[in-house]
Amino acid sequence: MIVRADLPRGVQAAMLVHAAGESSPGGLPPDTHAVVLAARDELHIALIAEALEKRGVRLTRVHEPDPPWNGALMALGIEPARKEDVRRHVSSLPLLR
């Protein structure tokens, strides 16, 4: 992925997510929204993942295998889902800035 360097970090992240979705062979619905939110730390993001999965929301955990993170949970990719199933668990998270 390539993103413009003159954009704010949060916009860069959202555009990278859009580009990844658009270039994937997965055929995402045209009304899919890309939002980049920030969790406090690894435990916080793990708890969010657990809560979403209990609601039946499909997601992908992204772990970084290389040092210095050594397998730490770094991000979540949340598949398109009903707002009601996601909003409750993510509405308090700030946008990445």
Is 90 exceeded by the pLDDT of residue 2?
A: no
Is 90 exceeded by the pLDDT of residue 91?
A: yes
23 to 1, 16, 85: CA distances (angstroms): 9, 10, 26
Burial degree of 52 (CB within 10 A; 0-12, 13-18, 19+): buried
- Identity of the residue numbered 29: P
Which of 95, 96, 90 is CA-nearest to residue 44? Answer: 90
The per-residue pLDDT for range 18-73, each reduced to its tens digit, is 888 777 777 777 778 778 899 999 999 999 999 999 999 999 899 999 999 999 99
Q: Are 10 and 37 in contact (CB under 8 A)?
A: no
pTM, 2 dp: 0.81
Q: Give the tokens for residue 95.
A: 């946008």
Q: Are 37 and 94 in contact (CB under 8 A)?
A: yes
Check residue 82 and give its pLDDT: 87
Domains in the chain, ordered, with CATH? 1-36 (no CATH), 40-97 (3.40.1490.10)
Residues making up the chain, counted from first to last? 97
